[in-house]
Chain A
Amino acid sequence: MIKRITLLAATLSLGACVTHTDINIDELADARAAIAASKAAGAERCAPKLQAEAVSSLYWAAHEYSEGSIHPEENAELTARAISKAQEAKAASKRNCAPAKPEIIKLSGIQFPHDSAELTPASIAILDKAVDTLNRRAKINVEVAAHTDSSGAASYNEALSSRRAASVMNYLQSKGISANRLSSKGYGEAQPIVSNTTAEGRAENRRVELRVLN
């Protein structure tokens, strides 16, 4: 009696630990490659249903192959479906899906004296709030991105924005934010958010922001 109960319990316990179907067989190499390519193209985000159809077909095919050659037509059909859905997903991703926009933490109000990367007291107060944010969100890494308006030469603006971005990054580091979490880049006048034709527009385009990288 005890032996029977032990045997039953062991069977049920092992039944709870069923392993997944093995997709790493030679017959599925093409399907795996097609799915890897569509995933690399961003299909999980850009064509999620097609990508899921490809992956579920792959798993199903793997299961059918594990049963040997009982249903060869079914094996071939599922494999072909996995490949064609992955190809559709890849094409749809390229056609429809823009790259994901990074999260931007705006540092509204940061200003610098003319032709300078020196932080003003008002800017420091804003950066202290950014330090709080970075301490609160301790897992994010950010790029300090600085922008200018279109006044002056583009090369000058790029160099100036690079100095300003570095200045902000150095301040954040001085307040204890790890250098490993920070990088800086000056974009010059290349990425305006409004027209530069008015003084208000130019003021809006002169800005510093934190771009979340992860």
Chain B
Amino acid sequence: MKISLLLFSLFAFALPASAGVFTSIEDRTAKIEADTQGNNSYHAHLARMLADIALEEKGQHDLEAGKEFINMAEDHAAQAGGAK
């Protein structure tokens, strides 16, 4: 029973962990900045701007909006193709 519970908990926590739920928005913004440094493509600009909005929303205590925008920012950072 205990082992089943342990396995279930590990699996359940793996999903949010892989989605970055346990990493702060500030850390994720910093990673986006680093990953797109010097990249002036549309997706790189958009990734940085969405990350800034995420920080702004978090600063206004809207953590859900902050997470939503940082997820979008990471999507665009991935499309930007890295730092230049």
- What residues make up the interface of A, taking CB atoms closer than 8 Å to B? 2, 5-6, 9-10, 12-13, 15-21, 43-45, 48-49, 51-53, 55-56, 59-60, 63
Contact = CB atoms under 8 A, between A and B. Distances in A.
Contacts, number: 70
A5 B72 contact: no
8 contacts: A9-B8, A9-B9, A15-B19, A20-B71, A21-B68, A45-B42, A49-B40, A56-B50
Q: Is the interface of A mostly helix, strand, loop or mixed?
A: helix
A6 B8 CA distance: 9
Contacts of B71: 18, 20
> Could you say which interface size class chain B belongs to?
20 to 34
A45 B50 CA distance: 19
B12 A13 contact: yes
B9 A5 contact: yes
A56 B50 CA distance: 6
Q: Is the interface of B mostly helix, strand, loop or mixed?
A: helix
Given A20-B72, A59-B53, 13 more contacts: A9-B13, A16-B18, A16-B19, A17-B19, A18-B67, A20-B71, A48-B42, A48-B45, A52-B45, A56-B49, A56-B50, A56-B53, A59-B50
A15 B16 contact: yes
A42 to B, nearest CB: 11
A52 B50 CA distance: 9
